[in-house]
Amino acid sequence: MNRIKTIETNVIRKEMLLLQKECSSKNDAINSLIEKAFDTGLITRKEPFMEVVLERETEIPTAIGYEIAIPHGKSKEVKEPFIGFLQVRNSFQWTEELEDEVRLVFLIGVSDKNENNLHLKFISQLSKKLLDEDFRQALKEVTEVEKAFELLTTINSTIQN
């Protein structure tokens, strides 16, 4: 149990939780999170990681409904796997073509090397939990980093496989 706890707190870092931000575009959102990831020392360079993430967006935009987008990239620039969270005050349209309005953005970064499965497991479990309406609502309403951290690191037994 302790081991899992460590994984959660490694992947989710308080520095990477951005709450009540103003944001009006996909690039703006991704950029804010990448800046933070760089400042926090999670990625080695910003531009190449941004490219990977945006390339993934052109394949298929990562707005998944429910006012959530999960841009992500697998890249050698990623030093440690992470999930960054950006909660914006007013929802905005993720792409011109897609009508999806987005308020919660999760930027996921993993390295292109063989990733530790426990990290991937945690990321997949958190992704699954986003389908839980109460969880999403709590994330939309949260105003304190401490509380957001607690929400994102508390993966309860209901989503275990």
- Binding residues (CB under 8 A) for other proteins: these are 56, 59-60, 62, 64-66, 70, 72-74, 108, 110, 115, 117, 120-121, 123-125, 127-128, 130-131, 159, 161
Query: Least CB distance from residue 22 to other proteins, whole Å?
Result: 25
Q: Which two tokens stand for residue 137?
A: 């609502």
Of the pair 59, 96, the CB lying nearest other proteins is at 59
Of the pair 22, 132, the CB lying nearest other proteins is at 132
Query: Least CB distance from residue 76 to other proteins, whole Å?
Result: 14
Query: Least CB distance from residue 125 to other proteins, whole Å?
Result: 8
**CA–CA dist 107, 68 (Å, integer):** 11
Of the pair 2, 117, the CB lying nearest other proteins is at 117
